Amino acid sequence: MGRMKFLCDAERCIECNGCVTACKNEHEVPWGVNRRRVVTMNDGVPGERSISVACMHCSDAPCMAVCPTDCFYKTEDGVVLHDKDKCIGCGYCFFACPFGAPQFPNGQAAFGARGKMDKCTFCAGGPEETGSQAEYDKYGSNRLAQGKLPLCAEMCSTKALLAGDANVVADIFRERVLRRGTGAEVWGWDAAYGGGEQKRERKREGQS
117 neighbors 63 (Cβ within 8 angstroms): no
Does residue 118 belong to any structural domain of this protein?
Answer: yes
In a domain, 160, yes or no: yes
Asked if the model's pLDDT at residue 130 lies above 90, the reply is no
Q: Which residue has the higher pLDDT, 206 or 72?
A: 72
Instruction: Identify the domain containing residue 10 by its residue range.
Output: 4-203
Does the structure show a pLDDT above 80 at 96?
yes
The residue count of the chain comes to: 208
Digit-coded pLDDT (tens) for 163-197:
999 999 999 999 998 887 655 555 555 544 444 44
Rg of the chain over Cα atoms, rounded to whole angstroms, equals: 20
Pick from 118, 122, 123, 133: which is nearest to 83 by CA?
Answer: 118
> Does residue 52 form part of some domain?
yes
The answer, yes or no, to whether residue 158 has pLDDT greater than 90, is yes
pLDDT of 43-73, one tens digit each?
888 888 999 999 999 999 999 999 999 999 9
Single-letter amino acid, residue 108: Q
Give the rounded percent of residues in the chain with a pLDDT score beyond 70: 80
| Percent above pLDDT 90 for the chain | 56
**Measured distance CA(128)–CA(146) in Å, rounded:** 15
Whole-angstrom distance, CA of residue 156 vs CA of residue 94: 27
How many folded domains does the chain comprise? 1
Q: Looking at the domain assignment, is residue 61 inside a domain?
A: yes
Query: What is the domain-level CATH number for residue 38?
Result: 3.30.70.20
Is the residue at 88 inside a domain?
yes
Give pTM, 2 decimals: 0.79
Q: In a 10 Å sphere around its CB, with 0-12 CB exposed, 13-18 middle and 19+ buried, how is residue 79 labelled?
A: buried
Is the model's pLDDT at 103 over the cut of 60?
yes
Question: 208 in a domain, yes or no?
Answer: no
Q: Answer yes or no: is 138 within a domain.
A: yes
199 located within any domain: yes
Which amino acid appears at position 140 of this protein? G
